Amino acid sequence: MAPRSDAPKYPSSSSQSQSPTAPTPTPNNNNQTHHEPPWSGWIETTGDALIILEAARRGLIPRVTRRLVDSERKMITSGSVFVFDEEESGIRRWTDGLFWSASRILGNFLLYRETDKRGAGHKSSRSDAAAEEAPAPAAAAAAASSSSSAADSSKAGDAHSLSRPRAETSRLGIDRQRERSLVGSLTNDDKFKPGGMVKKTFSLTINGVPQHLISYYKVEDVEAGRLRPPSSYPELAALDISADFLDKVNFRNPPKLEVGWDGKPRYRGEADELETSPHALTAALGGGASALPLLSEPTDVGASLGGRSKRFEPYGSPAKVKRR
């Protein structure tokens, strides 16, 4: 499917907190230099990541189709969420000009915390995008050596962190379980930039092409309710997630699925727990009789969004998904 100029733009975190529904899409110009991210919010669960990837697949949220220029990196702030297809964008290394800690695995995500500068155990954003992929079972053997060293480092970091003050999370009154969902094992606040961001990445491969989601947030913005997960928007939560996205080979920890009466699998929660989000998915992500459609009339999203147009930069709607 060719890119469309009517791909929606979602609001900044400040406007999200004012409205219980997802905003109306607005058009983009072909040669526009963008200063707002494709979507703003918090990716809390695997389900949230799948919602954003599905919305991008349908052209409801624009995907990054080229590397960001320096002036566009200013839109990388707390709440920014980016999606890109390696083949479509030509991006193999996601760069943001910031410095980050070594990665830590949290479920199907990789987490990084912002640092003031490069140092031992730190990395710049110019690392290979493959390093930002949450390892899937199919890639476990290839990643065994690097994973074992990362695990050893993580254990050492966890032991060390127990004797260190957790300044930010303590100040915000966050308990250990909640802290883990926000920063994983990266709890040594003295190692990181005060008031810095967390980078949370998610990747899967569809028809041999890696799809990446990169999100940024500050812990205090999440705790203050300034950043909402996509599952809290009825219009987004009602999206029927593509079966390709739910294939268990895509995940380190396959989520809980339920096959509906129509034979389609639907996300029902994380692998190791029930509903951890305060915004419980009371309805299937695939929707139901009471689910609100994302667009007012047609159920065929591609047809309802109109004709085709030239790709605009740096965002573009996805190409047509190849059927197996």
Q: Is the peptide bond before 314 cis (omega within 30 degrees of 0)?
A: yes
Confidence grade of residue 33 (pLDDT, cut at 50, 70, 90): low
Amino acid identity, position 110: L
Strand locations in 133-218 (E): 198-206, 209-217
Residue 170 lies in a domain: no
CA distances from 89 to 66, 108, 207 (A): 5, 23, 16
The first and second tokens of residue 40, run together, are 């703003």
Residue-level pLDDT at 320: 53
Per-residue pLDDT reduced to its tens digit, 147-166: 444 444 444 444 444 334 45
Higher pLDDT, 312 or 55: 55
From CA 241, how far away is CA 244, in angstroms rounded?
8
Give yes or no for a contact between 186 and 199, defined as CB atoms under 8 angstroms apart. no
- Cβ-in-10-Å burial (0-12, 13-18, 19+) of 305 comes to buried
Q: Which amino acid is at 55?
A: A
Look at the chain and report how many structural domains it folds into.
1
Q: Which helix (H) or strand (E) holds 221?
A: helix 219-223
Phi and psi at 47, nearest 5°, equal -60, -40
Residue 68 in any domain: the answer is yes
* pTM of model > 0.85: no
**3-state DSSP call for residue 105?**
strand
Q: Is 93 left (phi over 0), alpha (psi -120 to 50) or beta?
A: beta
Q: Which two tokens stand for residue 96?
A: 């943001």
CA gap 286, 134 in Å, rounded: 24
Q: Which residue has the tokens 């990266």?
A: 186
Q: Domain span at residue 231?
A: 13-134+192-316
List, in order, residues 6 or more apart from 156 with CB less than 8 Å away: none
Q: Of the spans 8-12, 97-101, 168-172, 278-282, which averages the highest pLDDT?
A: 97-101
Instruction: Give mean pLDDT, residues 282-295.
Output: 38
- 224 within domain boundaries: yes
**Within a domain: 23:** yes
* Coil, helix or strand at residue 114: strand
Q: Is residue 187 part of a domain?
A: no
Question: Three-state SS for 96?
Answer: coil
The chain-wide mean pLDDT, for the chain, equals 70
Lowest mean pLDDT among 32-46, 195-209, 249-263, 304-318: 304-318
Give percent above pLDDT 70 in the chain. Answer: 56
Task: Return the structure tokens found at 127.
Answer: 């690392």
Does residue 145 lie within any of the structural domains? no
Outline where DSSP puts E strands in 192-236: 198-206, 209-217
Counted residue by residue, the chain has a size of 324
Tokens of 67: 């590397």
Residue with tokens 């079966």: 243
Q: Is 172 inside any structural domain?
A: no
Is residue 5, in this structure, part of any structural domain at all? no
Say if residues 300 and 276 touch (Cβ distance below 8 Å). no
Q: How far is CA 181 from the centre of its chain?
A: 14
